Amino acid sequence: MVGTGLGVLVKCVEVTKYFGGLPALKNVTMDVEQGEIRAVIGPNGAGKTTLFNVINGVYRPSSGKVFLDGVDITGKPPHRIFKLGVGRTLQIPRPFKELTVWDNVFAGGLFGESMSRQELMNHATSLLEKVGLLSKASVKAGVLNLQERKKVELARALASKPKVLMVDEYMSGLNPAEIEEAINLFKSLRKEYGLTIIWVEHVISAVASLADRVSVLNQGAKIAEGRPQEVIEDQAVVEAYLGERVVHSSESG
C-alpha cells in the first residue's frame, strides 16, 4: 500500500446511509492519509456523492462514524465541518451567480479560519491566478461557462486554506489537453498547500495518473481499494463497470 506516513486524516468507519428503506451506502470504511490524493470511483448511482455528503455533513449517516484528524465529525452541519478544514466542490458547480468571480473566492475564505483581510485578498488573487481566472475576476460568476464555474468553485473551496479538499467530478467534459492541465493543477495545489484531496471522478485516465489510491464503490458498498493500476485491473471492478456477462465472454474469447 502507498502511504504518506503522516497518519490518517479522514476516516470513515462503517458508514451506512439509508434513503427511505433503500441503502445508498453500506458499511463503507475508508482511511484517507494526510497528503494523499484519493480517488473515489464507481458507476453512476454507486454512492460516491452520498459518501461526500456524509463526510461534509450534508447528510447524517444512518450508522457509522466520520473522523477528521481523530475528531468525530459525524452529523455536524456542513458549515461547522467546513470550519474544521474541509473544502468541497459540487458535481454541478454552484458558484454565487450574482457575485463576481473575485467575491466568490473572497466569500470562500471569509467565514473560515481567521485570516487577515490582506492575507485573504492575496490568497484569493493567487488562487485565481492558479486556476487561470484572474482576468475574469470582476465578471459575475453567473455568466461563466461550466468549466469556468468549476474553477471558481475550486478556488472558492481553497480560499479558506482547508486541510482536505473534496472534489466532485472535475474532469468530465474536458478535452485531453485540459485534463492534462487539470492534473498538473491538482498536483501543484497539493504540493503548495499540503492538501489532502478526496476526489470523485469518472475520467479513469486522469485517476490513473493523479491518484495515489483509489476506492471503488458499487451499489453503495466499497468493492475494491488500492493503487490505481491494481484497482483498474481488479475483476470485481471491471464487472461493476461493464457487467458480468461481458467479462465472461471476454474470458471465453
Partner 1 sequence: MNETRARFTTLLALIAIYSVLPLFFLDTPYIVFILAQMIFFTIFAYGFNFLFGFTRQLFLCVGSFAGIGAYITGISLRDGLMGPVEAVVVSTAATALVGWAVSVLSIRRKLVVIFTGIFTLAITLVFNNTVVGLANITGGETGFRIRGFSLGPLDILPYNLRFYYLAAAVLLAATALSYYLIFHTKTGYAYRCIMDDEVSAELVGVDVSRVKSMTALLASALLGFSGAQYGLFSQLIAPSYFAFATVDLPAQIIVILGGRASLLGPYIGSAIITVINEALKFLGPLTQLLYGLILILLLAFFRNGIVDFVKRRFLPWFF
Which residues are at the interface with partner 1 (CB under 8 A)?
Answer: 56, 77-80, 82-83, 88, 90, 94-99, 103, 106-108, 110-112, 156-157, 159-160
Residue nearer to partner 1 on the CB measure, 99 or 208: 99
Residue nearer to partner 1 on the CB measure, 158 or 207: 158
Q: What residues are paired with 19 via a beta bridge?
A: 22
**Nearest to 127, CA basis, from 54, 176, 195:** 195
Q: How far is the CB of 151 from partner 1 (least distance, A)?
A: 15
State how far the Cα of 192 lies from the Cα of 176, in Å rounded to an integer: 24
Q: How far is the CB of 199 from partner 1 (least distance, A)?
A: 17
Residue nearer to partner 1 on the CB measure, 2 or 92: 92
Class of residue 58 by CB neighbours under 10 A (exposed 0-12, middle 13-18, buried 19+):
middle
Q: How far is the CB of 112 from partner 1 (least distance, A)?
A: 5
Q: How far is the CB of 236 from partner 1 (least distance, A)?
A: 33
Listed in order, strand segments (DSSP E) in the chain are 8-19, 22-33, 37-41, 63-68, 71-72, 86-88, 164-168, 196-200, 213-218, 221-226
Cell triple for residue 214?
Answer: 483509489
Residue nearer to partner 1 on the CB measure, 106 or 170: 106
Helical packing angle, 117-131 and 176-193, nearest 10°: 150
Q: 3-class SS at 193?
A: helix
Q: How far is the CB of 66 from partner 1 (least distance, A)?
A: 17
Residue nearer to partner 1 on the CB measure, 3 or 78: 78
